[in-house]
Amino acid sequence: MKRDAISNYEPIQEGLVFSRKRTVGDAGYAYHRHDACEILLFLEGDIRFYIEQTCFVPAPGSLVILNPNEMHRVQSVGDTPYERIVLNVKKSFMDMLSTEDYQLADCFYRRPSGTGNLRILSADQVTEFLDMYGRLERSSTEEAGSSVERNAHTSLLLLWISRLYQDGRERVENMMPAYVSGVMKYIEDHLDEPLSLEKLAKMFHVSPGYLSTQFRRHTGLTLRDYLLDRKVNHAKMLMLEGANVSEACYQAGFGDYSNFIRSFKKVTGMPPGKFRRS
């Protein structure tokens, strides 16, 4: 999938995409997001998993869910093969499989961003997940009626995941340095204000050079690119809530309208007016 050099935004072309992946060597990549929800079952590897302002070391059997607004990344620690199962599902696809009394997408959206993403599966639950995933994988053929079978197995897997996320949440040891997560949170809470590397470094009592280096080390992005991504995403949310393009521009902290148009198109692949109409 094509990944934008600035935003690390990965578009998902279909309603459902899934694969079992095994990466040997450097499996790291920068913070990014998709335009679909993601389900990841971690099977093996020596990695750190980042979600928004949290970094943790996943145990085998870790199940992670993400909605399209949640930035995330993986960073390799060693040379152990990184194996996982990944499914990307668009909300429209889940809505199509849902009923009036049960919405399969709720567990992805009805929680604060960057929280409640993780569940640690037991050995029996991992086996159950792999069995359901195997049936889904085998249903993806050209045989007549295979799409019906695929949708049925997708529904069962999503229902199983949805029920799993109804109760409790896992506690994780956050390995993200406090000043990095603090900067990320401050940016999120002050997107409509002028922000700079120098201002943020002074607020968190570190030098601009040190903050720049450490921020990129932990996010894979420069502070400028991260800030641009968050501002554009905020503008998208404002337009989804009814704001026009001009309102979204200034409420998201863009002081220059022309710069907003260019930045939005560079990050999302389309001008803001087209996004709002669609």
pLDDT for 131: 97
- Provide the whole-model pTM: 0.83
The pLDDT tens digits for 189-231 are: 888 888 889 999 999 999 999 999 999 988 888 898 898 888 9
Give the count of alpha carbons within 13 A of 180, CB side only.
25
pLDDT at 6 over 50: no
- Domains of the chain (ranges; CATH) run 9-164 (2.60.120.280), 178-277 (1.10.10.60)
For the chain, give the mean pLDDT: 89
* Least confident residue range of 12-16, 24-28, 115-119, 142-146: 24-28
The pLDDT tens digits for 106-116 are: 999 999 889 99
Sign of the torsion angle spanned by Cα atoms 14, 15, 16, 21? positive
pLDDT at 3 over 50: no
Q: What percent of the chain has pLDDT over 90?
A: 54
Give CA separation, 231 vs 66, 148, 188, 196, 249, in Å: 20, 40, 9, 13, 9
